[in-house]
Amino acid sequence: MRRLKLSILFIFFVIGSLSAKEGMWIPLLLEKYNLAEMQEMGFELTAQDIYDVNNGSMKDAIVVFGGGCTGEMISPEGLLITNHHCGYRQIQSHSSVENDYLTNGFWAMSREEELPNPGLTVRFLEYMEDVTDEVLEGTEVLETEEREKKIRENTSRLERSASERGKYMTQVKPLFYGNQYYLYVYKVYRDVRLVGAPPSAIGKFGGDTDNWIWPRHTGDFSLFRVYAGENNEPADYSPDNVPFQPKKFFPISLDGVQEGDFTMVFGNPGSTMQYIPSHEVDIIQNQRDPDRIAIRDKKLEILNQAMESDPKVRIQYSAKHASISNAWKKWQGEILGLERLDAINKKLAFEAAFKEWAEANRTWESEYQQVFENFDALYFLYKDFIKASDYYSEIVLRGVEIFQVASRVNNIIKNIESKQDKRLESELKGTLDFLPRFFKDYHHPVDEQLFETLIPLLSNDLKSEFLPEYLNDVLAKNDRDKLVRKVYQKSVLTDEQKLKQILEEGDEKKLLKLRKDPVLELYNRLNFHYEANIKPVVDALNSRINQKMKIYMAGIILMKEGEPLYPDANLTLRVAYGKVEGYEPRDGVKYKHYTTLAGIMEKDNPEIYDYNVPERLKELFHSKDYGRYADSEGYLPVCFAASNHTTGGNSGSPIVNAKGHLIGVNFDRCWEGTMSDIMYDPEQSRNIAIDIRYALFLIDKFAGAGYLLDEMELVREKVEVADE
Ligand code: ARG
Ligand code: GLU
């Protein structure tokens, strides 16, 4: 009997380890938790090859790019690859009507032509360290608030001392809801130049239509170069700076990918919620996602219509459209996935097993019963408050556009009222800078429609205690039509010239008169109500929930003792490993693991903006001039799918093969699997990467910037395909 059990276990282990692998693992702990399994799946290197503080290892080739993407070194001379959508802001900032790099692409044909990007930084992780004991030192005897204070003190002391007088950027971050703390020490480089970007018709091919969708054909990459001052150290931009020499860069594989190949993604996933209780999954799946989708449906309907009928509006609203539709689409996939997984019931079953475990250990009553009673009560309150918070956030904070102007004017008025002259001056200046940027991409009729459509949603959908009396009054007195006429159309805030004049004059009396502006007044009442009655409660509930989560999490760690657990993502370096594989999204449908240039040609349609294939790419397709970048059957690979557990922030992450050679750059997930932020599904959760051979082909054959390949290390291990 025992033998049988063992062999069943063994079979289970083997089968289990052959399939996709959930988890975003801490590089420092791979040896302990993951290496054996990784090697079993095909990985041929050691844990030190991935993370080593004494010798150059893969971690030294990876950066946090800008605010929240990943990028990696691909040459000894500081050349960096990330996504097109990660470099989008920089590419856009260099673009003008004469030099429209977004439309035409940009390729530096020499180092002199590389473009500096003030404000853009990349940071390399020097080391990470478990500092739990130091952070919790002296906190054992303290009660909640005192304890938090002590933790903050310990944290800032650690951060200060590790920074070595500002040489490093340092962060202490909680893991497992504060059951552990890690210190992260970074070196920040400040001179990062744009080297190359394909036209948007390639780098953003498929646009928002294909976003989150597999099969995918986007060439989502861009190239930058990191520069250093003396001794390879960080420096502000200077023409005298020289290319940074990384301790490690990724060799690039020309072998391509086969179904079932081992893959690893090494990058900076931003945030996940793997351990939340059933209560919160329920709220996300049945309230938060549907609410936010419904509000954004309305926004997108308005934007789509206006963008379709006016090319100028299309340009003005393309970035706004992209950001509204990105999460909107992801949430739809998330609901679908949570439903398919029956996630709430899975969580309930886990909670029942947890209770059983705790009862068997006689810890249920003493430690956890109260936690779950607290969850019931806290989430009961949270549900209504987070609904209000979602509505305010979608409608007041980033819905009606003119409220952004209102918010700034409001600050000016507050500073006049409180006689803060210095601050007033800088607010006035800041607002005058802001106005032209804002109005450049503002189309009055679009925003008027947003106003007309979104404001009534607040009162239709929220309980009255979440609304200021004022709004009820205004809405009661006016029908929709009148609301627009009496509020939106009467405002001077929408009149750039008039507003500019008032601000430039700086006459305090005139400025104070703006308090009576109908848009400003409405914004003010809404914002005040939110700041006074909604946000503080949501913050307090979140903090209470997190305190309880810490206890629950500690229990889960005990319950799972011996099993590896990974903490939620927190925008620090993590390793995800899996395989190159397609999936079956629904009955009767099976997706391959890769796409090719032929698929781009199938989608080609000059009438549809997102599918307008550049002439040059068509020529290359017709002449089949793919060189060494073609696969063994003569097709040009474009993207591939794999089962690595990734999330936002993993954009631009290197995806490497068993030998640690770069095979692709991660840029998205398949939307049927996006519930992986809450619950991963080995059957459906897939990340999407651009095949590195497509990027090389574009640099070389499409852009004629093949000189950039000279500094890369291109490797080919399989010999069956003769090299040219
Ligand atoms: N879905 C990807 C991410 O979450 C890509 C977003 C940019 N692309 C776009 N078409 N909006 O960031
Ligand atoms: N596009 C996402 C990013 O910018 C990655 C996709 C995901 O959420 O996995 O990080």
Active site residue 376: no
Mean pLDDT of 54-74: 97
pLDDT for residue 609:
84
Q: Considering the domain boundaries, does residue 166 fall inside one?
A: yes
Same domain, 420 and 495: yes
Asked if the model's pLDDT at residue 480 lies above 80, the reply is no
Asked if 499 and 464 sit in the same domain, the reply is yes
pLDDT of amino acid 711: 98
* Residue 479 banded pLDDT, cuts 50, 70, 90: confident
Counting atoms of ligand 1 from 1, which one is nearest the CA of 207?
Answer: 10
User: Cα dihedral sign for 455, 459, 462, 464?
Assistant: positive
The tokens of 146 are what?
């005192």
Among the bound ligands, the one closest to the CA of 270? 2
Instruction: Name the DSSP class of 552.
Output: H
Mean pLDDT of 221-239: 98
Distance 630 CA to ligand 2 centre (A): 27
Check pLDDT > 90 for residue 589.
yes
Of 373, 694, 363, 336, the closest CA to residue 548 belongs to 373
Contact predicate 217/254, CB 8 Å? no
Euclidean distance between CA atoms 152 and 166, whole angstroms: 19
Q: pLDDT tens digits for 672-703?
A: 999 999 999 999 999 999 999 999 999 999 99
- Asked whether residue 11 is assigned to any structural domain, the reply reads no
Which residue's CA is minimally distant from atom 9 of ligand 2?
A: 647
Instruction: For residue 353, give the amino acid letter.
Output: A
**Cβ neighbours of residue 312 under 8 Å, at least 6 residues apart?**
443
Alpha-carbon distances, residue 19 vs 5, 260, 518, 530 (angstroms): 22, 9, 60, 47
Pocket flag, ligand 2, residue 650 (CB < 6 Å): yes
Amino acid at 69: C
**Ligand 1 atom 5: residue of nearest CA:** 668
Residues 603-621 pLDDT 10s: 999 998 889 999 999 999 9
Report residue 20's pLDDT band, with 50, 70 and 90 as the boundaries.
low
pLDDT tens by residue, 338-380: 999 999 999 999 999 999 999 999 999 999 999 999 999 999 9
3-state helix, strand, coil in the chain (%, to 5): 55, 15, 30
The ligand whose atoms approach the alpha carbon of 318 most closely is: 1
CA distance 327 to 245: 37
Same domain, 34 and 174: no
Among candidate residues 52, 191, 220, 668, the one labeled active-site is: 220
With a Cβ cut-off of 6 Å, ligand 1 is lined by 85, 204, 207-208, 211-212, 322, 326, 648, 651, 668
Is 321 part of the annotated catalytic residue set?
no
Q: Compute the C-alpha angle 407/411/412, nearest 5°.
A: 120
> Which range (60-64, 126-130, 179-183, 311-315) has the least confidence?
311-315
Please tell me the distance between residue 119's alpha carbon and the centre of ligand 1 in angstroms: 22
**pLDDT attached to residue 12:** 40
- The protein residue with its alpha carbon nearest to ligand 2, atom 4, reads 651
Cβ of 325: how many Cβ atoms within 10 Å? 20
Mean pLDDT of 265-275: 98
Q: What are phi and psi of 515, to 5 degrees?
A: -55, -25
Q: Which atom from ligand 2 is nearest to the alpha carbon of 326?
A: 1
Question: Atom 2 of ligand 1 has which residue's CA nearest to it?
Answer: 668
pLDDT of 724 = 44
Atom of ligand 2 nearest to the CA of 269: 10
SS3 235: coil
Q: For residue 72, what are the β-bridge partners?
A: 62, 81
Which ligand 1 atom lies nearest to the CA of residue 211? 10
CA of 88 to the centre of ligand 1 (A): 11
Question: What pLDDT sits at residue 719?
Answer: 59
CA of 497 to the centre of ligand 2 (A): 39
Is 362 found in the same domain as 493?
yes
What is the structure's pLDDT at 17? 42
Neighbours of 560 (CB within 10 A): 11
686 CB within 6 A, ligand 2: no
Rounded to an integer, the average pLDDT of 383-388 is: 98
The count of other CB atoms within 10 Å of the CB of residue 150 is: 18
Ligand located closest to 668 CA: 2
Tell me: the pLDDT tens digits for 621-651? 999 999 999 999 999 999 999 999 999 999 9
Res. 7: pLDDT tops 60: no
E-strand ranges in 15-100 read 62-65, 69-73, 79-82
State the Cα–Cα distance between residues 642 and 682, nearest whole angstrom. 10
State whether 488 and 593 are in the same domain: no
Residue 680 falls inside a structural domain: no
- Ligand 1 centre and the CA of 86: distance in Å? 9
| End position of a domain, from candidates 166, 189, 212 | 189
Ligand 2 within 6 A of 685 CB? no
Per the CB < 8 A criterion, the answer to whether 495 and 435 are in contact is: no
pLDDT of residue 14: 39
Rounded to whole angstroms, the Cα distance separating 701 from 219 reads: 14
- 685 catalytic? Reply is no
Residue 142 is predicted with a pLDDT of 85
Q: Which ligand 1 atom is the nearest neighbour of the CA of 669?
A: 1
Give the pLDDT of residue 19.
54
Q: Residue 261: exposed, middle, or buried by beta-carbon count in 10 A (0-12, 13-18, 19+)?
A: buried
Q: Does 663 reside within a domain?
A: yes
**pLDDT over 70 for what percent of the chain?**
96
Cα-Cα-Cα-Cα dihedral sign, residues 35, 36, 38, 43: positive
Question: Is pLDDT at 472 greater than 90 in this prediction?
Answer: no
Per-residue exposure over 114-141, b if at least 16 CB sit within 10 Å of its own CB, e if not = bebbeebbbbbbbbbbebbeebbeeeee
Ligand 2 pocket residue status of 657, Cβ below 6 Å: no
Mean pLDDT, the chain, whole residue set: 94
User: Which H or E element spans position 536?
Assistant: helix 535-559
The number of the ligand nearest the C-alpha atom of 646 reads 2
CA 254/CA 628 separation, integer angstroms:
8
CA distance 489 to 498: 14
Instruction: Establish if 598 belongs to a structural domain.
Output: yes
Identify the domain containing residue 33 by its residue range. Answer: 21-117+193-272+566-670+689-724
Q: pLDDT value at position 95? A: 84
Q: Which of 84, 85, 279, 529 is catalytic?
A: 85
479 in any annotated domain: yes
**Closest residue CA from atom 6 of ligand 1:** 326
**508 and 597 inside one domain:** no
Q: How far is CA 714 from its chain centroid?
A: 30
Instruction: Check whether residue 582 and residue 709 sit in a common domain.
Output: yes
Q: Do residue 706 and residue 618 come from a single domain? A: yes
Residue 16 has pLDDT above 70, yes or no: no
323 lies in some domain: yes
Same domain, 456 and 424: yes
Residues 420 and 361 in one domain: yes
Residue in 66, 217, 343 with CA at minimum distance from that of residue 636: 217
186 pLDDT exceeds 60? yes
Indicate if 104 and 179 belong to the same structural domain.
no
**Angle CA 338–343–349, to nearest 5:** 180
663 or 319, which is more confident? 663
Q: Single out the residue in 158, 189, 220 at which a domain terminates.
A: 189
Give the C-alpha separation, 51 to 29, whole Å. Answer: 9
How far, in whole angstroms, is CA 311 from its chain's centroid? 29
With H, G, I as helix, E, B as strand and everything else as coil, classify residue 542.
helix
Instruction: Give me the pLDDT at residue 96, please.
Output: 79
| Predicted confidence (pLDDT) at residue 531 exceeds the cutoff of 60 | yes
**Tokens coding 686:** 């897939």
Average pLDDT over residues 287-316: 94
Question: Which atom of ligand 2 lies closest to the CA of 650?
Answer: 10
Residues 69 and 126 in one domain: no
| Domain boundary pick from 189, 206, 231 | 189
Ligand 2 mean position to 88 CA, how many Å?
14
pLDDT of amino acid 15: 39
Q: Which of 651, 670, 687 to mutate to test the pocket of ligand 1 (most atoms within 8 A of CB)?
A: 651
Question: Is 519 in contact with 485 (CB distance < 8 Å)?
Answer: no
CB 512 within 8 A of CB 416: yes
pLDDT in tens, 397-447: 999 999 999 999 999 999 999 999 999 999 999 999 999 999 999 999 999
- Report the CATH number at residue 663: 2.40.10.120
Considering every ligand atom shown, identify the ligand nearest to the alpha carbon of residue 645 and give its number.
2
Mean pLDDT across 32-46: 96
Report the pLDDT value the prediction gives residue 6, as an integer from 0 to 100.
Answer: 41
CB of 649 closer than 6 A to ligand 2?
yes
How much distance in Å is there from the Cα of 4 to the middle of ligand 2? 44
Give pLDDT, residue 720: 52
**Bridge partner list, 11:** none
Q: Is residue 201 part of a domain?
A: yes
Total domain count for the chain?
A: 3
